[in-house]
Structure 1
């Protein structure tokens, strides 16, 4: 059967219809039923899961099974669970004896990174925690993610470390095993990542819908097994980008000789102080976090970030019309009007850094039946994959990405997973979801894939909660959606753009609702003035796309400039949230903006009723954490006493002697893209 290709690109005014065509396939990957109009205040519901563990029966402190001593903190191998990405290991949290049923283990599932379909580097004996959680459940994620396993299904105990060190540090000792197969079956396992799949709800009997949000986080210092496997998060960040300037790298009154300098050659053994030791300070006057806007277009993201209090440092785009608008609007910022690849190659050794970067790669050629190579395929794919090179070049503390959600279609999975892999290969944590931008204040309906990422050693922010909803409830922190009438009411005669109006004869509609159709490069099919007598003019289109009413567009192709933009009002909401998060992690109090107030001496603040809680490093004798769950010091190590008594496995100094080595990377195709991988020859065990 012949299937016509679907092309989604920035020049296509029928983008919304194409996304609707792809929606059934996308809905098998991520939840699309979360219409923003159905937003309700959070009400906890009883937990339930296909594999959920329940504390029924009598708890046991330990249990011996075929000579193996099983207890809290021991990892066991088990038959793979297909529903949990082939998870085949369990980190025991408790042991329960249920009358008439037997003994069960309750714990956290882990899978080999090679089973995550490419979103993480495929490295030998490297594992990833799998957390399935429900957004309507108030329990800690570690508790929600527990699964139950019959003890009779245990294959055997395995040595496992949790570490926040970057690969290849802390991996299995070299030389203990003579074959690759022996390494796989008996070698020490290492976990550095946690993959969270968040569902709207999980009714009894299984998952009724796919997840609505995904998060892939590198473990932090607190998640590590014990002191030997714990490194300073500050050190990880210093090695990657040379450190940070607390409160923001832009400070107009700082002397030039005190500019923040970058040293990416920090010695790995450099001891860094704990960030919890940093005292709380007031922010300097006019100090701001710096922002770079890649694929900036006419400046929608830059406008929103500026309104949120960021200093726009850099923009890059190759559209002459959009660049003329951007250059006029952001005259004090550096604009690189060039192809993104030229920007990447220029000044390859540059130490240019920004605090936060936004990426809006142009929508690519995505075809469900694209089997014959096309003339522009390489350029289209390279444009998307330039994102990880931009991360490598500018090394931001945080980044955001906005893209059409059509890329989540199963037939494009290898493209999307490769995009995620491009970030995680450098140690960046990422989270992503599809957002109807109505919930963040956009006057027009627009669903987009939104991603937030954080660099090595930097904590990953959550998404901001909704600021608007279709049915606000007391205490939910939302306001009614911004309607067409409200948005257009702000336009004054002085703001009108002098372009001819185009008449039409259509049915009148009520403007006391948001615009129900997406604004695209051609204006959007079905979009016209609520009077029914004409189409929207360019100023109205821009206002409904979230631009300030005085935003001045230059050159031609203005409608395309508007349709391509990330709505500034949405970016303002997102980036205010990010700014508050950075201020909190930097221990900075901001007193110059009432919206940035940090209440109390500890700097905690609330965004729409949600308190930002950011963990800080603690001394070694403090309780340790795995995720959000507090573990007692005696039971905090993911490796049991039985394993820790075997120095040849657990306390081995991998630098003390020569060993027989095997390549840690099991995928020959990725080896040259992984930092510090031992390259001794291709071995693919998949």
Structure 2
């Protein structure tokens, strides 16, 4: 049986098969190496090393070690010279005490790190700490992820510490402030506070990893605020309603958009025990603000999932006409993010969800040389901080190239995460294979979810498609299926305008996925090898519905399509988020009183509606216009057609 922890040092041959939590001894393994993984999956080294130390730096440690070690489970201990991967471990909460064969005392515990040492992912605040929770991803649903614990030798203990665990936002309950003006006094006070003041833990850093071929790959990470349930002392609990009201002023349970009702956001003053489930109003929706909107891939997918796209912003003139023709009711700000923030300084905008897709070309693996827009693109990602401060959404989604996770771009990535946590947002991120959410492409994207103060951080939606039909999932989408809805007379499907190859190029497989569609997809062509794809075929392969229109030159339209977050995968994500928000709000989606309800969406091409059906719900506005005429001749007057967004 494989070991349940990473082994080294004196405990190299010890197995903890029956432990409720796995553990690792924090010493170096010279055989472990970190690799540069070009598909964006990060390799981590969870073994750690004892750092070299200087005698004069640890006088407190020497004094502590000269006394008998009477540690207890639950103690918070400051430790020295310990690393977990690339990060230092500053404290542990003791969960177990054991002895080696030579009677050397070993302490097992949950590791903590000072927030200032997290490379900018959390605010650098004095005596603020974060739990470090590393766990293997479990394949069996009945197994629970247990965090890996640190095994530390007792002689590395510096001192005992006190800690407050709270779900409040900084600076509530923070360590006392230093008021002396003298630099010398300030330095001395900070040093004393560093050693003696109570620690405060508001965050947990969760890394889920998988192991294969003796390598440890990060599967998913999150930096989450401590939840109310995790706070054991009631005096350090702040209600979620209070946190939410302080941050954004409240919420509309069930969605901020109501048909013919544009009322302001309401402060939530209900007590926790006043939680009563209710129904949504007819036409009520959660709202989306789409930043860096481009050709409206996110807006199209979110609208298909039931969201109301109320506002968008993009400074690129070539996408404005495409936007306006598809979403005439949405307010489009034709300007940069910084200009938008100045323009609407006094306008109280509070969307339920904010999506951001900053330009990603600079961080893309395909970006191999400098260009004129590099500085512009990197500046865009740094604007997110002020945009979040202005809009204060309940949830945030962000999509980027997985190249942002490469080592050379880590400063930008850590800054982005830090911009969100600075405002109290819990953040989760993962590199997603979009084919598992229905894309016909072998495309990977970095997807980030964030939840504001007073909100619960949603998980990622489960896969909807798989290669081997595992767990009764749909088969992967294919080129053939993605193109099957195109008719000869569809707009942008001009075969004469496509490039024809003489001699033909090698034939490709129809019933498989296409490679990632880029902004200049010259190496992608129709599988018979005779021609390039038409613009409409490009759009369908990118997940756009037939009804989505494009405006601009052929080159501009190709760029709009290639830059888009595939709408069919966005729909999967946003349906999941809508269900999550409804659950958090204690609201049930509105449905007509019916014993038989047929739901039609973009994939319901073969649905048969008979005269016995009492209601038809068209949830996907992408197909509403296309299906309405055929439905009206198919169903009788006893049927109801509702929710045509």
Partner residue of 1:365? 362
**TM-score computed with the length of structure 2 as normaliser:** 0.76
CA 1:247–1:69 in structure 2 vs 1: closer, same or farther (change >3 Å)?
Answer: farther
Partner residue of 1:581? 580
CA 1:495–1:276 in structure 2 vs 1: closer, same or farther (change >3 Å)?
Answer: farther
Q: How does 1:361-400 map to 2 (within 5 A)?
A: 361-366=358-363, 378-400=375-397
Q: How does 1:110-149 map to 2 (within 5 A)?
A: 110-136=112-138, 139-141=143-145, 143-149=146-152
Partner residue of 1:307? 304
Distance in 2 between the 1:373 and 1:201 partners?
36
Partner residue of 2:477? 482
Query: Partner of 1:547: helix, strand, or coil?
Result: coil
Distance in 1 between the 2:148 and 2:458 partners?
20
Q: Which of residues 428, 431, 442 in structure 1 aligns to 2:428?
A: 431
Query: Partner of 1:173: helix, strand, or coil?
Result: coil
Distance in 1 between the 2:271 and 2:81 partners?
39
Conserved? CA contact 2:252–2:265, under 8 Å: no
Q: Which of residues 189, 193, 196 in structure 2 aligns to 1:179?
A: 189
**Structure having greater relative contact order (Cα 8 Å, sep ≥ 6):** 1
Q: What's the Cα RMSD here?
A: 3.0
Deviations 1:424-457 (A, max 9, x none): 1111111111112111100112111110011111
User: In the alignment, is residue 212 of structure 1 matched against residue 219 of structure 2?
Assistant: yes
Partner residue of 1:72? 73
CA 1:201–1:209 in structure 2 vs 1: closer, same or farther (change >3 Å)?
Answer: closer
Query: Partner of 2:176: helix, strand, or coil?
Result: coil
Partner residue of 2:264? 260
Q: How does 1:449-528 map to 2 (within 5 A)?
A: 449-473=446-470, 476-499=471-494, 500-504=497-501, 505-515=504-514, 517-522=515-520, 524-528=521-525
Distance in 1 between the 2:225 and 2:249 partners?
19
Distance in 2 between the 1:329 and 1:195 partners?
41
Conserved? CA contact 1:200–1:211, under 8 Å: yes
Distance in 2 between the 1:419 and 1:174 partners?
28
Q: Which of residues 208, 221, 243 in structure 2 aligns to 1:198?
A: 208
Deviation at 1:295, TM superposition (A): 0.8
Deviation at 1:525, TM superposition (A): 4.2
Conserved? CA contact 1:290–1:355, under 8 Å: yes
Conserved? CA contact 2:89–2:112, under 8 Å: yes
Deviation at 1:97, TM superposition (A): 5.7
CA 1:471–1:343 in structure 2 vs 1: closer, same or farther (change >3 Å)?
Answer: same
Deviation at 1:155, TM superposition (A): 2.2
Deviations 1:614-662 (A, max 9, x none): xxxxxxxxxxxxxxxxxxxxxxxxxxxxxxxxxxxxxxxxxxxxxxxxx
Partner residue of 2:36? 25
Distance in 2 between the 1:131 and 1:88 partners?
14
Distance in 2 between the 1:364 and 1:417 partners?
18
Query: Partner of 2:447: helix, strand, or coil?
Result: strand
Query: Partner of 1:487: helix, strand, or coil?
Result: helix
Q: How does 1:147-166 map to 2 (within 5 A)?
A: 147-166=150-169
Distance in 2 between the 1:164 and 1:416 partners?
25
CA 1:32–1:308 in structure 2 vs 1: closer, same or farther (change >3 Å)?
Answer: farther
Partner residue of 1:241? 248
Q: How does 1:618-633 map to 2 (within 5 A)?
A: none
Structure 1 unpaired stretches of 5+: 1-22, 34-47, 52-63, 264-270, 597-686
Q: How does 1:265-344 map to 2 (within 5 A)?
A: 273-275=270-272, 277-344=274-341
Structure 2 unpaired stretches of 5+: 1-33, 49-64, 180-185, 592-596, 601-645
Partner residue of 1:7? none
Deviation at 1:237, TM superposition (A): 1.2
Deviation at 1:344, TM superposition (A): 1.5
Query: Partner of 2:250: helix, strand, or coil?
Result: coil
Deviation at 1:381, TM superposition (A): 2.5
Deviation at 1:105, TM superposition (A): 3.0
Distance in 2 between the 1:118 and 1:158 partners?
24
Distance in 1 between the 2:325 and 2:512 partners?
33
Distance in 1 between the 2:462 and 2:587 partners?
22
Deviation at 1:165, TM superposition (A): 1.1
Conserved? CA contact 1:160–1:189, under 8 Å: yes
How many positions carry a matched residue from both structures? 528
Deviations 1:441-480 (A, max 9, x none): 001121111100111111111111111111122xx24221
Distance in 2 between the 1:107 and 1:140 partners?
19
The more displaced of 167-176 and 108-117 is 167-176
Distance in 2 between the 1:595 and 1:94 partners?
54
Distance in 1 between the 2:105 and 2:379 partners?
53
Q: Which has the larger radius of gyration?
A: 2
Conserved? CA contact 2:294–2:560, under 8 Å: yes
Deviation at 1:209, TM superposition (A): 2.5
Distance in 1 between the 2:444 and 2:341 partners?
30
Q: How does 1:14-53 map to 2 (within 5 A)?
A: 25-27=36-38, 30-31=41-42
Partner residue of 2:569? 570
CA 1:401–1:595 in structure 2 vs 1: closer, same or farther (change >3 Å)?
Answer: farther
Partner residue of 1:229? 236
Query: Partner of 1:533: helix, strand, or coil?
Result: coil
Deviation at 1:154, TM superposition (A): 2.4
Query: Partner of 1:543: helix, strand, or coil?
Result: helix
Conserved? CA contact 1:303–1:568, under 8 Å: yes
Deviations 1:333-362 (A, max 9, x none): 111122222112112132111000111111
The more displaced of 352-361 and 314-323 is 314-323
Deviations 1:541-600 (A, max 9, x none): 00000001221112322111111111000000011111111111111112538889xxxx
CA 1:546–1:24 in structure 2 vs 1: closer, same or farther (change >3 Å)?
Answer: farther
Distance in 2 between the 1:316 and 1:192 partners?
34
CA 1:591–1:458 in structure 2 vs 1: closer, same or farther (change >3 Å)?
Answer: same
Distance in 2 between the 1:481 and 1:353 partners?
37
Distance in 1 between the 2:292 and 2:309 partners?
14
Query: Partner of 1:211: helix, strand, or coil?
Result: strand
Q: Which of residues 383, 397, 403 in structure 2 aligns to 1:406?
A: 403
Distance in 1 between the 2:370 and 2:321 partners?
35
